[in-house]
């Protein structure tokens, strides 16, 4: 973060000399916060029309994935009350 | 707050600022080397580092961090800056007060043109930088990575292979808040 509070943000301490795990943790944090995608996107300029298309596509994709996950969670229920009650 | 609706800027505190700022003055101990700014900084850093280390010590207490590497506090350990561009990787090992120890890049290691933008080149540069820094008496180092290039991970691995001990990894990739306009998209 430039010169403000230099080693506070986006820092991961290495535990027990395990540098690979620390780097993996850092990468996970950054991608979860969307920083890696943002940096990749800013490499080339994204025109406003392309940006609007991308945002619409991402919104639709988010809705679709959420609905599909909900459906799958519903279908894969195991513990429910007796479905054949009375038969 | 004044009643005319205009709020004075100093009364607004961003809620995203996790560290209490300005930090309360730490208890006075006999620390000869640190100046006033160093003490304030180390207090704030200690607060944030407790949170980062995830130590289950209950609520965040402002206490002096007792982690030491070769007797040095975190702020006194040299820094290894790694700039990982898409075509090259630069590594510079600097002390905490910006005195240089070692500077290598893929180009100084004999690679040319496209071969500089590879992970193997970055690893070699990392090993060379580590060896040079070791020769000047550097053992622990905190890494600051800038950029997303092929040599990002490999350079850190090279530093470890060359004998330096990495204690923390920071990501310092510059993210503009919509500043300069980047170049146009390729393959139109």
Q: What is the pLDDT of residues B72-130, one digit of tens each?
A: 999 899 999 999 999 999 999 999 999 999 999 999 999 999 999 999 999 999 999 99
**Measured between beta carbons, which residues in chain B are less than 8 angstroms from residue A38?**
175
pLDDT of res. B30: 44
**Measured between beta carbons, which residues in chain B are less than 8 angstroms from residue A19?**
156-157, 160, 166, 169
User: For residues B50 and B45, what is the distance between their CA atoms, to the nearest angstrom?
Assistant: 8
pLDDT band at B27 (very low <50, low <70, confident <90, very high): low
CB contact under 8 A, B172 and A7: no
Q: Say if CB B132 and CB B91 are below 8 A apart.
A: no
Mean per-residue pLDDT, B59-75: 73
On average, the pLDDT of chain B sits at: 79
Could you tell me if B34 lies within 8 Å of chain A, comparing CB atoms?
no
Burial of residue B141, with CB atoms counted within 10 A of its CB: 0-12 exposed, 13-18 middle, 19 or more buried: buried
Could you tell me if B142 lies within 8 Å of chain A, comparing CB atoms?
yes
Helix (H, G, I), strand (E, B) or coil at B151: helix
CB contact under 8 A, B170 and A11: yes
- Of the partner residues B19, B52, B186, the one whose CB lies closest to the CB of residue A11: B52
pLDDT of res. A51: 96
B136-152: pLDDT as tens digits = 999 999 999 999 999 99
**Measured between beta carbons, which residues in chain A are less than 8 angstroms from residue B174?**
2
pLDDT of res. B59: 39
User: For residues B130 and B161, what is the distance between their CA atoms, to the nearest angstrom?
Assistant: 8
**Measured between beta carbons, which residues in chain B are less than 8 angstroms from residue A51?**
none
Q: Say if CB B49 and CB B41 are below 8 A apart.
A: no
One-letter-per-residue 3-state SS of chain A: CCCCCCCCCCEEECCCCCHHHHHHHHHHHHHHCCHHHHHHHCCCCCCHHHHHHHHHHHHHHHHHHHHHHHHHHHHCCCCCCCCCCCC
Could you tell me if B167 lies within 8 Å of chain A, comparing CB atoms?
yes
A2-35: pLDDT as tens digits = 677 888 888 999 999 899 999 999 999 999 999 9
On average, the pLDDT of chain A sits at: 91
Burial of residue A14, with CB atoms counted within 10 A of its CB: 0-12 exposed, 13-18 middle, 19 or more buried: buried
């Amino acid at each position: 973060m430039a010169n403000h509070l230099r080693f506070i943000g986006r820092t991961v301490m290495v535990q027990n000399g395990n540098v690979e795990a620390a780097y993996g943790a850092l990468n996970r944090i950054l991608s979860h916060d969307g920083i890696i995608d943002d940096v990749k996107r800013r490499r080339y300029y994204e025109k406003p029309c392309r940006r609007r298309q991308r945002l619409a596509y991402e919104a639709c994709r988010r809705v679709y994935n959420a609905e599909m996950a909900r459906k799958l969670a519903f279908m894969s229920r195991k513990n429910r009350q007796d479905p054949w009650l009375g038969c | 707050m004044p009643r005319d609706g205009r709020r004075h800027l100093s009364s607004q505190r961003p809620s995203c600022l996790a560290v209490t700022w300005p930090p309360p003055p730490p208890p006075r101990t006999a620390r000869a080397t640190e100046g006033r700014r160093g003490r304030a900084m180390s207090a704030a850093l200690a607060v944030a580092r407790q949170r980062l280390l995830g130590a289950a010590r209950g609520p965040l207490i402002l206490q002096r961090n007792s982690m030491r590497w070769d007797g040095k506090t975190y702020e006194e350990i040299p820094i290894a800056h790694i700039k990982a561009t898409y075509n090259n990787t630069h590594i510079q090992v600097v002390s905490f007060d910006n005195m240089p120890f070692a500077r290598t890049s893929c180009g100084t290691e004999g690679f040319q043109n496209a071969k500089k933008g590879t992970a193997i080149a970055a690893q070699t540069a990392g090993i060379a930088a580590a060896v040079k820094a070791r020769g000047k008496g550097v053992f622990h180092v905190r890494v600051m990575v800038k950029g997303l290039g092929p040599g990002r991970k490999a350079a850190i691995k090279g530093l470890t292979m060359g004998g330096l001990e990495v204690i923390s990894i920071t990501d310092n990739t510059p993210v503009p808040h919509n500043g300069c306009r980047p170049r146009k998209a390729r393959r139109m």
